[in-house]
Amino acid sequence: MNRERFIKQRRSDWQTYETLLSRLKTSWFSKWSSRDIADLSRLYRSICYDLSLVQSREWGQRLEQYLNDLVAQGHNCLYRSPPQSPDLVWNFLARGFPRLLRKRIGSFLLALGLFLIPFLAGTIAGAMRPDLAELVVGRESLDQVREAYGKSFYEGFDTEFAGQRTSMAGFYVFNNVGIAFKAYSLGSFLGIGTAFILLSNGITIGMITGYVISEPDLTNNFFSFVITHGAFELTAIVISGAGGLVLGQGMLFPGNMSRGASLRHHGQESLQLALGAGVMLGIAALIEGFFSPMPIHPMIKYVVGSTMWILVILYLSLAGREVVTTEESP
């Protein structure tokens, strides 16, 4: 396929996507229909693929920039702050989001299993068979892990630290949100795509972790780096997966509702889960960018990281619960 034929075949989808974005940008999140969410997810994925194709075939900077702008607009549309008062946003994050997650605990536990089981299996296999980790993940990726964690991050705080960490924080936001968005949006394929993303990421991350365990000179740097932001990042990816499974549930099991009503109901709740996970990923990116590589004693990072895990678990388990008081009899 040449450049002209590619543009001719794909132009209608790009125009449809632009029209959809222009409408959703000016509407409330609660007004988005399940059809809007499904269309946005489908078109976003296809345009991401278009962008990668254009980049790999070097079909011109102008076309690449146009598609890159479309991808960025779609991301911003989904993860932008709701046009509501700060109090409503705070109430959602402080109470509504953890309540909704507990309401959808079945989907969360299923997503957790789809990620955690292959992660543990991959970790054990990678630790026992580093050659298997190389086969699954690739030698280039493992070489990058060795290069990243085989030496000290920084010797002190300076302008180089500040500049590099600021740019890396932005990269982590884009990368982490990309994984979570895939886990969520692929729920539109009856939840099958979401399950695949969770399984594949569980295996990949597990294999890398196992490989690190098999290399003692990497272990301390690696675990002291990931323990703090991992509390937010890994949990958010699982929550995004739960959102995708909720979306798939609305399609497969409408219950007593019509399929359209089921999609609207489940679609709205799945989007709220994805938005809450997006906030957690933003926090994870800031920690990963600025705290995780700090030149401080690893034990401090382990203590802070353990505290973050406890806080995340307590937040998701207890935040938003009604306090029940009983009056004593006279």
User: Which of 75-84, 136-145, 263-272, 295-304 is predicted least confidently?
Assistant: 75-84
pLDDT > 70? residue 158: no
What confidence score (pLDDT) does residue 166 get? Answer: 53
Q: What percent of the chain has pLDDT over 70?
A: 83
Please state, in angstroms and rounded to a whole number, the distance separating the CA atoms of residues 249 and 117: 22
What six digits make up the tokens of 251?
A: 């399609």
- pTM here is 0.67
How many Cα atoms occupy the beta-carbon half-sphere of 22 within 13 Å? 6
Please state, in angstroms and rounded to a whole number, the distance separating the CA atoms of residues 110 and 242: 7
pLDDT > 70? residue 329: no
Answer for the pair 201, 245: CB distance below 8 angstroms, yes or no: no
Mean pLDDT of the chain: 82
Q: What percent of the chain has pLDDT over 90?
A: 28
Tell me which long-range contacts 325-329 makes (C-beta under 8 A, separation of at least 24).
none
Q: Identify the top-confidence range among 3-17, 33-47, 48-62, 98-112.
A: 98-112
Q: Is the dihedral of CA 262, 265, 268, 274 positive or negative?
A: negative
pLDDT > 70? residue 169: no
What confidence score (pLDDT) does residue 45 get? Answer: 81
Mean pLDDT of 35-52: 81
Please state, in angstroms and rounded to a whole number, the distance separating the CA atoms of residues 125 and 210: 7
What confidence score (pLDDT) does residue 328 get? Answer: 45
What confidence score (pLDDT) does residue 254 get? Answer: 72
pLDDT > 80? residue 35: no
Please state, in angstroms and rounded to a whole number, the distance separating the CA atoms of residues 77 and 322: 33
Answer for the pair 189, 252: CB distance below 8 angstroms, yes or no: no
pLDDT grade for 36, boundaries at 50, 70 and 90 = confident
Instruction: Find all residues with CB under 8 Å of 181, minimum gap 6, and list them.
Output: 44, 75, 78, 240, 274
Answer for the pair 77, 278: CB distance below 8 angstroms, yes or no: no
Please state, in angstroms and rounded to a whole number, the distance separating the CA atoms of residues 250 and 243: 11
Domain boundary assignment for the chain: 3-80, 94-318
**3-class secondary-structure state, position 212:** helix
Mean pLDDT of 27-37: 69
Residue listed under structure tokens 């079909």? 59
CA angle 318, 267, 258 (to 5 degrees): 120
What six digits make up the tokens of 58?
A: 């070097």
Please state, in angstroms and rounded to a whole number, the distance separating the CA atoms of residues 67 and 61: 10
pLDDT grade for 176, boundaries at 50, 70 and 90 = low
Q: Is the dihedral of CA 146, 149, 152, 154 positive or negative?
A: positive
What confidence score (pLDDT) does residue 308 get? Answer: 95
pLDDT grade for 24, boundaries at 50, 70 and 90 = confident
